[in-house]
Amino acid sequence: MQEVLSLLYYWLKVGHLVFVIFWMAGLFMLPRFYIYHMEATSEEERARWVEREARLRRIIMTPSMVLVWVLGLALAFSIDAWSMGWFHLKLLLVFGLSGYHGWMVALGRKIAAGDAGISNKQMRLLNEVPGIAAILIVTTVVVGRLYF
């Protein structure tokens, strides 16, 4: 039985990491799509960006985020991560990244309605959030285990 659980752990980890990559790719792409959308000069071009953004969120980002959470929680239970200090920090960071995802979805709806309320420069800065989050999360998982 221990052998089966051990194999399951590795497959959960593979799935978790694959869907983290998909989700992060979407989080990097979405702000860039919004920038192109905001710079569009015609209604036809803006309409195409609205559809592209919606497909990215619907087909890649949201399903990947859900699978990251499901597989990540399954991993946490399989190794009893709740008792490990680094896991609490990782969980907090992933909650923050999930909140960023939700905020970006809401921002996309505003941009589609023509009320961005944000400048291109601000959007370019927001584009850095997933990268910073990735650095913090990976550091927490890899190095955090050594310290707490």
Question: For 2-52, what is each residue's pLDDT tens digit?
Answer: 677 678 999 999 999 999 999 999 999 999 999 999 999 999 999 999 999
More confident residue, 116 or 106: 106
Q: What is the 3-state secondary structure (H, E, C) of 60-76?
A: HHHHHHHHHHHHHHHHH
Between 1-5, 68-72, 91-95, the lowest mean confidence (pLDDT) is in 1-5
90 assigned binding-site residue: yes
Both structure tokens of 109: 């709806």
pTM to 2 decimal places: 0.92
Mean per-residue pLDDT, 118-136:
94
Both structure tokens of 87: 């896991």
In one-letter notation, the amino acid at residue 143 is V
What is the pLDDT at residue 6?
Answer: 75
> Beta-carbon neighbour count of residue 27 at 10 Å?
24
What is the pLDDT at residue 1?
Answer: 58
Q: Are 111 and 38 in contact (CB under 8 A)?
A: yes
Q: Which of 103, 113, 90, 95 is nearest to 38 (CA)?
A: 113
What is the pLDDT at residue 3?
Answer: 75
What is the pLDDT at residue 7?
Answer: 83
Distance between CA 138 and CA 70 in Å, rounded?
Answer: 18
101 assigned binding-site residue: no
Checking if the pLDDT of 146 tops 90, the result is no
